[in-house]
Amino acid sequence: MILATVITPWAGDGTEEQPYCGRILADFNCLTYNDATNAPAETLIPPISILTVDVTLEDAEFAALEADNDYCVLHDTPNPRPPDGAPGQSEWGQLRAYLAHAGMSQAQIRVAIGERDGRSRAQIASALAEWLWQQ
């Protein structure tokens, strides 16, 4: 089993039948799910409709998630992206590209996750979740 913090697109339409949640719930069999952003859907800036979630997945589900470009893994345990480690240059570039593809401007990305300054993946995930909450 893999515990991971992931950026996922939103899903649902806010109705009782289809409440807002991370699309990861529809696409993958999550053993646990927690909205780390905890932002109300109405505060999101369209088209920046993403949130950070903490999930637990079986190894095969996690491998499929990693291969899906609709998602970005911020950190995972017990794999090569531990929460207390800093992302390498390639990983940092992938994160920035994902956020730009999600509709964030370069200025928004700088404000949301800062510069590559040695912060841990967990610190970056927390900063992004806080930024999304404030929007």
In 1-135, the DSSP E strands lie at 2-11, 21-22, 32-35, 50-57, 72-77
pTM of the model: 0.84
The model's pLDDT over 49-64, given as tens digits with 9 standing for 90+, comes to: 888 999 999 999 999 9
> What is the crossing angle of helices 89-101 and 106-113, to 10°?
130
**Contact in structure between 75 and 126 (CB atoms under 8 Å):** no
Per-residue model confidence (pLDDT) at position 19: 81
Domain boundaries, the chain: 2-134
DSSP characters for 43-79?
GSBTTB-EEEEEEEE-HHHHHHHHH-TT-EEEEEESS
Mark the ranges of the chain whose per-residue pLDDT is less than 50. Answer: none
SS3 category, 106: helix
Q: Which of 6, 133, 22 is nearest to 71 (CA)?
A: 6
- Measure the CA–CA gap between 130 and 135, rounded to whole angstroms: 9
